[in-house]
Amino acid sequence: MAEKGFNAYKMAQAQFDDVADKLDLDESTRELLRKPMREYHFTIPVKMDDGSAKVFQGYRVQHNDARGPCKGGIRFHPQETADTVRALAMWMTWKCAVADIPLGGGKGGVICDPHDLSDREQERLCRGWIRQISKNIGPVEDVPAPDVMTSAQHMLWMMDEYEHIEGGKYPGAITGKPVGHGGSLGRTEATGYGVIYTVREALKELEIDITKTTAAVQGFGNVAQHAVELFTEYGGKVVLVSCWDQDDSKAYSYYRKDGIDLEELRGITDRYGTVDKEKAKELGYERLPGDDWLKQDVDILIPAALENAITGDNADEIKDTVKLIAAGANGPITPEADDILEEKDMMVIPDFLCNAGGVICSYFEQVQNNMNYYWPKEEVIGKLDDKMTSAFYKVMELAKRKDIPLKDAAYMISIDKVVEACKLRGWI
């Protein structure tokens, strides 16, 4: 998940401290917001298919709920750590605020590798996670959702277990559910589409025609695939995607100069976003090292996998042809890399603005659950576009007015909103 020595939580705190200085926040406010309000660590015993029992480590972190119930995904990953979950919960707080939705930041995880678990074992793990945390989550307290290597099916198992424990129907307790079971149309596309809505508007600001642009994408999971889908619909060309290869335990990039064929690659990709390397070769894709995604002569880079993708060690390898970096993943750019990219005069759309589409659509799902009335996909996507575009221009306007990077403007807007909520509640 991250290179040795990298700590996502320390990075998230450093980002906060930098903006706290610029906002001149007092000590008590800093102390409240640079740490989670609550966190839960627990073990999950699971009966395996062979009759043995295995114990998994689970987490849920609630960073801040001043603006509404906590909201955030659940990751299944073999290298999950408590500090990664803390960082992601903090970033979720800022993401909800910059998107102007009435939710706070939370995140969850389990240390496991779903590749090594049968569907039944994964179901037992999902239900076990809920049993351990059910009293501390729910539609008015903390609402989980899918994240890395979890899906709509995982969420439905979790919701079913939660409803069994609580003795009622609570579709708003979990989002990212299957359509027809409380899920929202458009949720699958939301994060990836949201990334491209911000790319579209940023290119307008840069006076660049999207139909003449090329992009390289790190990742080929749900976010990356739907980002590629909308970007190509707008007329752009994606020449490379990269993904983790489970068999080799390393990442590869798949390159084609005249552009990748999304449906072709989807057809040889498993549910975890791993491309069949032999079939890709037969289809004419050049297989490159995983890190080559950021060394391409393209206009746009989209890191849409995991954190710590662009660092102080590799940011100089980004070509001068790159005009825009859209952070589709959470925490993909370290503070050291930010400084280098600033010197290169590249526009960077910060992660918690760029990838806010997922949580926005999760919020829409909750609204529809509460009404017990569901919108058509076109309405969901239209509302998502409006929210993302509005958030982008509020950040852009502040960045222009203060002559600061988009990242600083986005942080200032989001942190200021959370601080105001905490003060109005009398917490600080």
- Return the active site residues: 107
The token pair that represents 267 in the structure block: 């057809």
Q: What angle is formed at CA 309 by the lines to CA 303 and CA 310, rounded to 5 degrees?
A: 95
357-371 and 377-402 are packed helices; what angle lies between their axes, rounded to 10 degrees? 140
Summary count for the chain: helices (H), strands (E): 14, 12
Distance of CA 177 to the CA centre of its chain: 17
The token pair that represents 358 in the structure block: 């997922």
Distance, first Cα to last Cα, the chain: 36
**What is the Cα–Cα distance from 225 to 344, expressed in whole angstroms?**
28
**What is the Cα–Cα distance from 95 to 103, expressed in whole angstroms?**
9
Q: Which residues have C-beta within 8 Å of that of residue 262, sequence separation ≥ 6?
A: 225, 228, 229, 232, 238
Q: Which residues have C-beta within 8 Å of that of residue 212, sequence separation ≥ 6?
A: none
312: phi then psi, degrees, rounded to nearest 5: -65, -20
Pairing, β 53-64 against β 104-111: antiparallel
Question: Quick one: DSSP state of residue 183?
Answer: B
**What is the Cα–Cα distance from 426 to 428, expressed in whole angstroms?**
6
Instruction: Answer yes or no: are the C-beta atoms of 418 and 97 closer than 8 Å.
Output: yes
Separation in Å, CA 28 to CA 70, 141, 408, 428: 21, 24, 22, 7
Q: Where are the alpha helices (DSSP H) in 167-307?
A: 187-205, 222-233, 262-266, 277-282
**What is the Cα–Cα distance from 390 to 402, expressed in whole angstroms?**
19
